[in-house]
Homo-oligomer: A and B are copies of this chain.
């Protein structure tokens, strides 16, 4: 929890004094970590989804109770962000409003993205399918990726997303 608060001060130049209290992303992550995800893992029916939907109403952020989120996540603004049931998110990631970590509707079981550590996902990015996103990846605003893995240490932009930077060198590589 403390890691989530530190993540705000590390990432947002606009935050001052105790304004971390006002971040809807923090509220959504807090309730997910300490309530809805725990109830989901205890296989309680219905209640975790109910809590998730109440938090969506309060924050504009929809985190399915099944999503596995490691420490230090910062969701800025957050309105319209959707995180699916089988999503995994590593340590110290940052994401913005209108980010979708969703499914294609064609898969069963694990059907949503797995995100590595220190990953940045810009406003409006849409990632659909059971892909893997490597550590230290930056996904630019408005990027669209469907069912493609992304190697670590790169930057992906565009619709559909292409690798435009890899290990600090400019490149232009189609995702496979």
Contacts and interface: CB of A to CB of B under 8 A. Distances in A.
Contact of A50 (B22, B53, B77, B100): B22
Contacts of A11: 105
Interface in A158-174: 158-159
For A17, A58, A158, A159, which residue has the most chain B Cβ atoms within 10 angstroms? A159
| Secondary structure of the A contact surface, majority rule | loop
Interface in A77-113: 77, 79-80, 82, 84-85, 96-98, 100, 102-103, 105, 107-108, 111
A103 B85 CA distance: 30
Interface residues of A, number: 47
A82 B79 contact: yes
**Assembly of this chain: how many copies?**
3
Interface in A35-84: 45-46, 49-50, 53, 56-58, 60, 62, 64, 77, 79-80, 82, 84
A45 B17 contact: yes
A28 to B, nearest CB: 12
Nearest to A120: B105
Contacts of A124: 98, 100, 124, 126
Contacts of A14: 64, 84-85
Given A22-B49, A24-B56, A79-B82, 5 more contacts: A13-B108, A16-B45, A98-B124, A102-B123, A142-B159
19 contacts: A13-B103, A14-B64, A17-B45, A18-B46, A22-B53, A24-B56, A24-B57, A57-B58, A60-B79, A62-B79, A79-B80, A96-B102, A100-B141, A102-B123, A123-B126, A123-B128, A126-B141, A141-B144, A142-B142
